Amino acid sequence: MKWKTLTIVSAFFLLAGCWDIEESDRLDYVHGIGVDYEDGKVILYLQLVNLGGLGTPETAVKEEDQITIATASAEDVNTAIFNIYKSAQRRLYWGHTTFIILSEATLENNKLKEVLDLVNRYPETRYRIRMFSTKDDISELMKVSPTFKGSPIFSRLTDLNNAYEQSSWIKPLSNRELLISLDEPGYNGFIPAIRVTENTWQTESSPEPMVEPIGVASVTPEMFKGFLMAYDI
pLDDT tens sequence across 158-214? 776 777 777 778 888 999 999 999 998 888 999 999 999 988 888 878 888 888 999
Query: Do 178 and 189 form a contact (C-beta atoms < 8 A)?
Result: yes
Q: What is the pLDDT of residue 59?
A: 46
- Among 54, 51, 100, smallest CA distance to 77 is for 100
Q: Identify whether 6 is part of a domain.
A: no
pLDDT tens sequence across 44-100? 999 998 876 555 444 445 555 678 999 999 999 999 999 999 999 999 999 989 999
Q: Identify whether 20 is part of a domain.
A: no
Q: Identify whether 17 is part of a domain.
A: no
Please give, one letter per residue, the 3-state secondary structure of 186-226. Answer: CCCEEEEEEEEECCCCECCCCECCEEEEEEEEEECCCCEEE
Q: Identify whether 196 is part of a domain.
A: yes
Q: What is the pLDDT of residue 196?
A: 92
Query: Do 122 and 94 form a contact (C-beta atoms < 8 A)?
Result: yes
- What is the span of the domain harbouring residue 91? 27-229
Q: Identify whether 13 is part of a domain.
A: no
Q: Identify whether 22 is part of a domain.
A: no
Q: What is the pLDDT of residue 18?
A: 57
Q: Identify whether 11 is part of a domain.
A: no
- Domain tally for the chain? 1
Q: What is the pLDDT of residue 43?
A: 97
229/99 Cα distance (integer angstroms): 21
163/152 Cα distance (integer angstroms): 14
